Amino acid sequence: MTQPHTPAGPAEPTGARTEAQWRDILTPEEYAVLREGGTERPFVGEYTDTMTTGTYRCRACGAKLFTSQEKFGSHCGWPSFYAPLAKDTVRYITDSSLGMERVEVRCAACDSHLGHVFHGEGYDTPTDDRYCINSISLTLDEG
58 is a catalytic site residue? no
Q: What distances in angstroms separate CA 14 from CA 1, 50, 81, 103, 113, one per listed residue?
A: 34, 29, 23, 20, 14
Which amino acid appears at position 118 of this protein?
Answer: F
Which among 58, 61, 110, 132 is annotated as catalytic?
Answer: 132
3-state DSSP percent of the chain in helix, strand and coil, to 5: 15, 30, 55
| Closest C-alpha to 84, from 61, 60, 101, 108 | 108
d(CA 111, CA 13): 5
Reduce the DSSP state of residue 130 to 3 states and report it: strand
Q: Give the active site residues.
A: 132
